[in-house]
A and B are shown apart, each in its own frame.
Chain A
Amino acid sequence: MSDATIGKEDYMHSQFKYWKPYVSPFDPCKPILVKSYSTPPHLYMNFQPIGLAQFQSPIQALKHGTLWPQLYSPYPDPHKGVKPK
C-alpha cells in the first residue's frame, strides 16, 4: 500500500514533485489522485556561483521576486492537481 512516486524522468527537471496517494474506498470527498509540492530552485545549486545572469531590468526583478532568473520559482505549482504529461 505504498504511495507510488511518479517515474523519475518525469519530474527530475521540474521544481515540482508529484506523487499518487492511496485512495480509500471510503473517502467521503472526491479523491485527489496526484498531489504535488514545490521545491525552491536554490536546492539544486549548492553555493550560489559568482556572476549569474540577472534579469534585464530592476522592475522585472521586482516582479519575479529575485534578481536572478535561475533562482525564480513560479510558486504555486501552475499544474497543481493535474497529472504531469
Chain B
Amino acid sequence: MPPEYYQCLEELQAIDFVLVELNLYLNTHPTDLEAIKQFNETAQKSMQLKHNFEQQFGPLMHFGRSYSSYPWDWDDTPWPWQV
C-alpha cells in the first residue's frame, strides 16, 4: 500500500481518539458547550476523513455502512491484521 494509506489511517485513528476522549469527558460534563462544539466539529472531520479514505482505498465498514465499487471490494487485501 502507498504511504498515503498509512497517513490517512493514522490521521483517522487520531481523530477518532479525540472523539473517544471528548465523548467520555462529555458524559460527566454535559453542559460544556465549547466541548460539545468541538465534539461535533471533530465528528464531522472524522466523517470527511472516512469518506476520503473510502474513495481512495475501499470500504472501512461492511453490512451497508460503506459503499462498494465494482467488482465487490470488501474482500480486497490488506485485511485488518495485515495492515
Name A residues whose Cβ lies closer than 8 Å to a Cβ of B.
47-48, 50-51, 57-59, 61-62, 66-67
What is the interface residue range for chain B against chain A?
A: 10 to 19
Given contacts A51-B34, A67-B21, A67-B22, contact A61 B28 (CB under 8 A): no
Distance A67 CA – B23 CA, assembled complex (angstroms): 11
Name B residues whose Cβ lies closer than 8 Å to a Cβ of A.
10-11, 13-15, 17-18, 21-22, 25, 28-29, 32, 34-35
Supplied contacts A51-B32, A59-B10, 18 more A-B pairs, CB within 8 Å:
A47-B28, A48-B28, A48-B29, A50-B32, A50-B34, A51-B34, A57-B14, A58-B15, A58-B17, A59-B14, A61-B21, A62-B13, A62-B14, A62-B17, A66-B21, A67-B17, A67-B22, A67-B25
